[in-house]
Homo-oligomer: A and B are copies of this chain.
Amino acid sequence: MAVSVTAALLVIGDEILTGRTKDKNIGYIAEYLTAIGIDLREVRIVPDVEDEIVAAVNALRQRYTYLFTTGGIGPTHDDITADSVAKAFGVGIGQDPRAVAMLRERYQPHELNEARLCMARIPEGADLIENPISKAPGFRLSNVFVMAGVPSIMQAMLENIAPTLEVGARMNSEVVEAEGIAEGIYAEGLGQIAAANEGVSIGSYPSFSAAGFRNQIIVRGKNLAAVEKAAAEVRDLLGRLKGDRAPL
């Protein structure tokens, strides 16, 4: 098993950048990949502009084990992801007979017009990713997985992809509640624990709500014993400190 399998996510779509559509895929994919043992290391959101998509695909696919994309694979003129990915790889693109066959499961011959057939444009050498909801497939080209932007379809595609992915050691994490102790009070000791525990990452996350604030310390790492040791040290630290009812 690889020690670390990494990934990036590229979200494609003007509608996310204008705020009209609030992305629901980033958090879902982040949590999903983390759970199966893939480290999501970077996310980018770019508009429906070919040069931007090509540049981001090439930057990210070369840097991480996997690149996942969402958005831009429908039948309208603003759906340019497949052509952009083909261009990024320098390969041809055309109507894929396997993808046409999938569309035929959904559309009658007279319904399968030019625009809908655009959803069968797949780069040469790609494998298809089935879409159980609306049939138009995503695809995998080398280490790049192209998925739909509609969350329910993206989620179904990710389910189909997951068994084919190489995964690394899963991340273990332990949450320590800082119960009313301010970050500024435990920061010094926490920094010392973080520095002394290599291979373990320790984050401190304040959150605010109507009920007040809540600080959580998350200890994460691939080695469970190392995580448990560091988390015990954090609990020990908090036990020695007095809370002063302030979040930071």
Given contacts A44-B44, A77-B194, A184-B113, contact A203 B15 (CB under 8 A): yes
CA distance A16 to B40 in the complex (A): 10
Chain A 58-91, CB-CB to B under 8 Å as 1, else 0, gives 0000000000000000111110000000000000
Chain B nearest CB, measured from A189 CB (Å): 9
Q: Does A159 contact B (CB under 8 A)?
A: no
Chain A 159-191, CB-CB to B under 8 Å as 1, else 0, gives 000000000000101000000000111111011
Question: Which one of A19-27, A92-100, A139-147, A223-231 contacts B?
Answer: A19-27
Contact A23 B27 (CB under 8 A): yes
Which of A15, A52, A208, A248 has the most chain B CB atoms closer than 10 A to its own CB? A248
Within 8 A of B (CB), among A23-40: 23, 26-34, 39-40
Total A residues in contact with B, Cβ cutoff 8 Å: 78
CA distance A39 to B17 in the complex (A): 8
- Copies of this protein in the complex: 2
Chain B nearest CB, measured from A204 CB (Å): 4
Contact A30 B26 (CB under 8 A): no
Contact A77 B134 (CB under 8 A): no
Q: Does A118 contact B (CB under 8 A)?
A: yes
Contact B45 A43 (CB under 8 A): yes
Q: Does A105 contact B (CB under 8 A)?
A: no
Contact B183 A76 (CB under 8 A): yes
Contact A134 B248 (CB under 8 A): yes
Contact B115 A20 (CB under 8 A): no
Within 8 A of B (CB), among A181-232: 183-188, 190-191, 194-195, 201-208, 218, 220
Chain A, interface SS category: mixed
Closest to A133 in B: B208
26 A/B residue pairs, CB under 8 Å, sorted by A: A11-B43, A14-B220, A15-B203, A16-B43, A17-B30, A17-B42, A18-B34, A18-B171, A18-B220, A19-B28, A19-B29, A19-B30, A19-B33, A19-B40, A43-B45, A75-B183, A75-B187, A76-B190, A76-B203, A77-B191, A77-B202, A113-B188, A115-B188, A116-B184, A134-B247, A152-B208
